[in-house]
Amino acid sequence: MSTIAKTVVATGATSGIGFELVKQLLSQSQPYNFILGARNPEAAKGAYDELKYDVGRHKITILPLELNNLKTVKTFSQQTLGRVEKIDYLLLNAAIGATKRTSETGPYGSKWVEQYLVNHLSQHYLTHLLRPKLEESKTRIVVVSSGAIRQVTDPSTLDEEMQANIDKGHNIYGATKFIQLVGTQWWRRQLAGKCAVVAVSPGLIPNTGIMRGGDGKIPTQHPDAKSVPEGAQSVLAAFTRDDLPEDPEQMFLTSWGEWWPKDVYSLALDKELQEKWSPSLETIEKEEGIAS
């Protein structure tokens, strides 16, 4: 009797940790059906073809997706829903670090900086768009977070920091990942009893595409640095761990395999903050000029 394929919908899976994670799943006997979003689908397809995976067991579909352009997020969701009966896992892995400020507006006229659009808003919007299927499928949602969330000590400054028309003078990656975690906690509450929502840190990983567009670089000799395969294994653990803590707010899995104590990210547990940074589908489409 053949094993039923599990469906994985993923962002950020065409390079770095996401690519390595899919590569590791392709080595398993369990069949997988992957729906992957990519800025350059042809290049992504070429990279996966080079793996020479078992096409009789696994299927990979790569669809166009530009996370700094929310109109493509809607198209990606529509194309995804037309291809799947069930979504077993939703992996939200895409992220960018520092980008150079080039105009008074964000990408495609957005009021938001690109890091906020990519690291949070676009993937929050995607979750909205997929929500009925996620609830029906009882999907496990895995959000790749970062220890950089600890850089935020005063959430009241976040609104100004995310505005595209204000020159920051510093890297806001940690701030965008903090907002992402705030939104992840919001989704955990919204989907309680329907979907498991887990945040996970892969650790400090040099040699990924996270710093594209900026001048920053993670030093390979950093004492806490991990390899890309090690980072992927940390994320994969969030796919399978069934020992979720009794306290539902404690849903952050560390790269060393422990559930982080809530006091580490206590600021992200503020429900008013969660509401503020978790806009509705309708609000997002109105502000970003997306036809409903």
- Judge whether 173 counts as a catalytic residue: yes
Q: What's the start-to-end Cα distance of the chain, in Å?
A: 43
Residue 12 CB burial class (10 angstroms; 0-12, 13-18, ≥19): buried
Contacts of 98 (CB under 8 A, 6+ apart): 115, 171, 173, 211, 213, 214, 215, 216
168 is annotated as an active-site residue: no
Residue 193 — left, alpha, or beta (φ > 0 → left; ψ -120 to 50 → alpha)? Answer: left
Residue 15 — left, alpha, or beta (φ > 0 → left; ψ -120 to 50 → alpha)? beta
Among the options 74, 133, 177, 226, which is catalytic? Answer: 177
Could you tell me the sign of the dihedral formed by the alpha carbons of 130, 135, 136, 139, in that order? Answer: positive
- Options 173, 194, 226, 265, the catalytic residue: 173
Would you please indicate which residues are annotated as catalytic (active-site) residues? 173, 177
